[in-house]
């Protein structure tokens, strides 16, 4: 399935919800340092309920080490600054779906390094700033899985 990568996550309850999502979709969750909470945080456990044992979770000191270890089939970065729609992303097995932190998003140098063509957004109303991270990851993961005909 997919690799969901959270770069510098800040809110434990969002990560907990994404752990639950990963358990239910078969995605692997990768957390890139720094992480703004402890992995045994009460909010993380509450949001993930009892799904932690069904989800694969890995932490990495940087994104380069993560990518070189898992050797994904490709990368899709999600940002409000993108112009491509999330439905146009090339969802393939072993693909990395990369999301930034709740308050900062992805580092700006990622776009120049990984290419603007690999950046995607979810459409929103013009006055909106962003969606909740857990909601965004859910929409993206299920769109990708839908494009793979929900095959596991």
Q: Are strands 74-78 and 28-32 parallel, antiparallel or unpaired?
A: unpaired
User: Tell me, what's the pLDDT at 42?
Assistant: 67
Question: Up-side HSE of residue 53: CA atoms within 13 Å toward CB?
Answer: 1
The C-alpha atoms of residue 103 and residue 111 are separated, in whole angstroms, by: 17
Residue 150: pLDDT above 60? yes
The C-alpha atoms of residue 99 and residue 66 are separated, in whole angstroms, by: 14
Q: Shortest CA distance to 118 belongs to which of 128, 106, 130, 135?
A: 106
DSSP 27: P
For residue range 84-137, what is the model confidence (pLDDT) as tens digits? Answer: 999 999 999 999 999 999 999 999 999 999 999 999 999 999 999 999 999 999
Q: Which CATH architecture has domain 3-99+116-147?
A: 3-Layer(aba) Sandwich (3.40)
Where in the chain are the domains?
3-99+116-147
For residue range 54-80, what is the model confidence (pLDDT) as tens digits? Answer: 889 999 999 999 999 999 999 999 999
Instruction: Output the CA torsion 82→135→99→115 (10° steps).
Output: -20
Cβ contact 98:69 at 8 Å: no
**pTM assigned to the model:** 0.94
């Amino acid at each position: 399935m997919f690799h969901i990568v959270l770069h510098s996550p800040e809110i434990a309850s969002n990560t907990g919800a994404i752990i639950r999502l990963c358990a239910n979709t078969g995605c692997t969750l990768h957390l890139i340092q720094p992480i703004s909470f402890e992995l045994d945080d009460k909010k993380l456990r509450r949001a993930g309920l009892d799904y932690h044992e069904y989800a694969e979770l890995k932490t990495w000191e940087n994104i380069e080490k993560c990518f070189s270890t898992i050797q994904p089939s490709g990368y899709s970065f999600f940002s409000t600054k993108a112009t491509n729609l999330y439905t146009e992303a090339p969802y393939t097995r072993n693909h990395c779906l990369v999301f930034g932190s709740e308050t900062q998003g992805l580092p700006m140098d990622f776009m120049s390094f990984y290419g603007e063509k690999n950046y995607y957004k979810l459409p929103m109303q013009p006055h909106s700033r962003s969606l909740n991270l857990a909601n965004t990851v859910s929409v993206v993961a299920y769109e990708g899985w839908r494009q793979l005909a929900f095959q596991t």
